[in-house]
Structure 1
Amino acid sequence: MYFTMLSYLLTIGVSNFRYQYTLASGWSAMKIAGGLKQVRTIVWDPLGNMLVAQATRGISVHTFGADGCINSTNMLISGNQLNHGLALTPDGTTLYASGETAAYSWTYNPATRSISNQKTIVKGISTGIHSTRTIAVVPSQPNLILVQVGSNANFDMAAASSSAGRAIIKIFDTSKAPSAGFNYNTDGEVFGYGLRNTIGFVPDPSGVFWGVENSGDDFTRTENVGNPLTTRNAWYGYPTCFAVWDPSSFQGLKTGSNFVVSPNSSYNDATCNGKAIPPRLSFQAHSAPIWNTFDADAKNMYVAFHGSWDRSPATGFKVVAIKFQKNADGSYEPVAASDSRTGYTDIFSTPNPGSCTANGLTQSNCFRLTAAAWDPAGRGLFVGSDNSAEGEIYVLSPTA
């Protein structure tokens, strides 16, 4: 199937991979789309059409032929104000997308791949160094949406309070949305805060959301951010507490323990570890996780690492797999212990990340990976790249 699809792609003009890559044993890779603009998020509608958020261009919709290849591409929504967030209700009839200061909804028709009835759902979102606003629909109660906002600085001290409306994920009941939309800071409920920039979060089969957090510019981690039907006001530590990666510099702490940058007599590492919810698993600093997704049976969670832009040598620029398990009580969690530094494995990566340049967030001589999404039709893991030289989409497929 892989070679058949590759041959077909060549005949319809899909270019080769723009950048070199390496693959783990048991995986194949194929470029299925190119010539896009800063691919950020991928979702599927109930009829198998693929919707793609292209930052500052809009939302495109792509259909597939019987051979599994893309056979049509159209812009569903054109608008330079949209830059990342994209979600569909399970029945495929309501579409959500976001820009820096607002989130919107449309009535969506999967059969005609058309939209109508645009509404502003959330407005008044703060601006800052993080402009993306991830949106997720709660599958079991799709009138509820989660909207994430990052910090406005590396250390956004005001975000220690949830009322700042930054470094936070909030819940909004769209069935009660005012005609002009909710105000982000004053409306909705606090799901979790102290989350510097949790760009990706996805539910497991039990309804618990797992987020990949871009913490202070020296820290990254993944965490259980809870069930949105029951969790409220959970605090994950930012901008006071951060997760240890290399414990050699910390007396008495392990990987994943919380620490304070400048401890004092009234607030120290022990205080953090007593108050802040720790990560369930930690990543190497500057990996910059962008999106995460579970495979069909939730035995693995895949994470796209965008790659570092201010670290030398660079790290990231890869997709990793985290093995998950289902516990006796029906909950899910990573197989690895919370203090593990080997709880994830590379499956798709640049050959030499240390040589990757990153002149800004989307300029690089390597791919900048985003938009991890497991295909419900079983074709594999779709991954985007938002490198400003060319937006691409790849399919990573298990071969065994």
Structure 2
Amino acid sequence: MHISVSSTALLASLAHILTASAQDACPGALTPSYAQPVFADGWTGSLVAKGLTRPRGMQLDSQGNLLVVQQGVGIVHLQFTDGGGTCLTLAKKTTLITDSVLNHGIGLSEDGKTLYASSVDAAFSWPYDAEAVTLGTKSTIVTGMNNAGHSTRTILLSKKEPGWLILSRGSAGNIDPLAEDKSSGHSHLKAFNIANLTASSPPYDFTADGRILGWGMRNAVGVGEEPTTGGIFTVENSADNVARSGTDIHATNPGEEMNFVGTLASTENQGGNYGYPNCLAVWNTDIPNIGSMTVGSQFAVDVTDQTTTVTDADCEERVKPRLTFEPHTAPLDVKFAADGSKAFVSFHGSWNSPIPVGYRVAMIDFANGQPVAAADSQTAAVDLFTNSDITKCPSACFRPAGLFLDGTGRLFVSSDATGEIWILGPTSSTTPTPPATSGGRRRARLPRL
């Protein structure tokens, strides 16, 4: 999008006014080094922490303090002074763990007394005292996940079925031949029963042990549990540089995916093959030999190093995504409103797209445990928190990574590229609840609270 000099000056002036207004309303408010982001109508937000090192996964402890994984550094403990709404100011920063292998995943037990985090190869636990901000001895819970390529191992502790830990392991590269083999453990989502583990229990082996929730997921970084039904959803980063019938289609295909893998209370809709590496999801239907396929259909891609030949008919047998998102937007997290009415998704942003795409947080309407939108919708994700000029990305904009919803419905957002934490919330309440709006990919209208 071309912006004239006068338009650029207007945006800069508006950003200055918004920044000054925020500082008046919230003394000590921080200012980003890039243009002030845009919030959906009825929402606002504040930059509450700067100077972190690649912040990724986040978790609030029982004292209301934020634990943040700094990729390649460890875990930091942030204590805020809460002025109500989105007015939070950092009061104290404490290094909780120094460990360079920790890179993304984090979680807490339901009682808040056990902390979990992950490396490329393992998931760990520590006894945690939130009041004293101290840790006990580290234990290894799951191991055997090391591979090249995608290195994050997302952790989810189930609230619906306490005692279960879910781990996501991605592929060893863009197209990973090993992911064809179910026994390899590559591109798997698995659950482990940790209810009766002790400090002396041997760790699970990811490949040999655990319950397969789904496989054939290239890199399902975001994993969330819908609170009313216990449904487990993932958001998946799909492949780059894809061709079909000799035609380069990577600019507009394949789509990123939201997948449903059932619940931990049942094996229904569970354990299926979600397509990767041979089958990917259609986003733009202007591709060779489209036939009757539509958005979200699984199609066969050109591959040169796979062990089997897969056709579109074979791909029809794979599990289709529940929703499909614009290619290269790189969804990294998904969190649900407490009443199940919304899913919030962070789109980290592109590196393999002709134009910048993503770099935003969006919300998706849910009802009865499922997205309201049809599976072939291209407008299910509604903009909530966006960069004012996406052409500046990725060098001069925020890149959302981790998300965390607090007990009042405020949403913490980490930006790994800029080393920041933002907090978002509705404008009309100091103790906001999640919105219940609907619509396509556009700026949302005023939510009903």
Pairwise same-fold verdict (TM > 0.5): yes
Q: Unaligned stretches of 5+ in structure 2?
A: 1-18, 241-253, 429-449
2:415 corresponds, among 378, 385, 393, to 385
1:396 corresponds, among 413, 424, 430, to 424
1:127 paired with 2:158, answer no
Aligned partner letter, 1:183: D
1:26 paired with 2:63, answer no
Query: Deviations along 1:229-268, whole A, 9 cap, x unmatched?
Result: 32352221111211111123222111011111149x9742
Which residue number in structure 2 is paired with residue 229 of structure 1? 265
Which residue number in structure 1 is paired with residue 210 of structure 2? 188
The 1:338/1:386 distance shift into structure 2, 3 A limit, reads same
Which residue number in structure 2 is paired with residue 60 of structure 1? 76
The 1:195/1:256 distance shift into structure 2, 3 A limit, reads same
1:238 corresponds, among 269, 276, 285, to 276
Q: Unaligned stretches of 5+ in structure 1?
A: 327-331, 358-363
Summarize the alignment of residues 356-367 of structure 1 with structure 2, pairs less than 5 Å apart.
Answer: 356-357=393-394, 364-367=395-398
1:338 corresponds, among 354, 364, 375, to 375
Report the Cα distance in structure 1 between the residues aligned to 2:109 and 2:42, rounded to whole angstroms: 33
Report the Cα distance in structure 2 between the residues aligned to 1:260 and 1:239, rounded to whole angstroms: 9
Q: Shift in Å at residue 333 of structure 1?
A: 0.9
Report the Cα distance in structure 2 between the residues aligned to 1:339 and 1:124, rounded to whole angstroms: 37
Report the Cα distance in structure 1 between the residues aligned to 2:271 and 2:117, rounded to whole angstroms: 24
The 1:296/1:91 distance shift into structure 2, 3 A limit, reads same
Aligned partner letter, 2:399: R
Summarize the alignment of residues 172-187 of structure 1 with structure 2, pairs less than 5 Å apart.
Answer: 172-174=192-194, 175-176=196-197, 179-187=201-209
Report the Cα distance in structure 2 between the residues aligned to 1:290 and 1:19, rounded to whole angstroms: 22
Alignment check: 8 A CA contact 1:90 1:139 kept: yes
The 1:299/1:3 distance shift into structure 2, 3 A limit, reads farther
Query: Deviations along 1:103-141, whole A, 9 cap, x unmatched?
Result: 100111222222102101112212211111101112133
2:239 corresponds, among 189, 193, 216, to 216
Aligned partner letter, 1:238: Y
Which residue number in structure 2 is paired with residue 252 of structure 1? 292
The 1:8/1:109 distance shift into structure 2, 3 A limit, reads farther
2:399 corresponds, among 363, 368, 381, to 368
Q: Shift in Å at residue 228 of structure 1?
A: 2.4
Q: Shift in Å at residue 4 of structure 1?
A: 9.5
Alignment check: 8 A CA contact 2:76 2:94 kept: yes
C-alpha RMSD of matched pairs (Å): 2.2
Larger radius of gyration: 2
Report the Cα distance in structure 1 between the residues aligned to 2:424 and 2:160, rounded to whole angstroms: 29
Aligned partner letter, 2:69: A
With 76-85 and 221-230 compared, the bigger mean Cα shift is at 221-230
Where do 4+ consecutive residues of structure 1 move more than 4 Å?
A: 2-10
Q: Shift in Å at residue 43 of structure 1?
A: 1.1
Alignment check: 8 A CA contact 1:162 1:190 kept: no
Q: Shift in Å at residue 5 of structure 1?
A: 7.6
Which residue number in structure 1 is paired with residue 301 of structure 2? 261
TM-score by length of 2: 0.80
Which residue number in structure 1 is paired with residue 109 of structure 2? 89
Report the Cα distance in structure 1 between the residues aligned to 2:256 and 2:156, rounded to whole angstroms: 21
Report the Cα distance in structure 2 between the residues aligned to 1:254 and 1:63, rounded to whole angstroms: 48
Q: Shift in Å at residue 295 of structure 1?
A: 1.8
Q: Shift in Å at residue 352 of structure 1?
A: 2.9
Report the Cα distance in structure 2 between the residues aligned to 1:6 and 1:373, rounded to whole angstroms: 24
Which residue number in structure 2 is paired with residue 329 of structure 1? none
Which residue number in structure 1 is paired with residue 134 of structure 2? 114
Which residue number in structure 1 is paired with residue 434 of structure 2? none
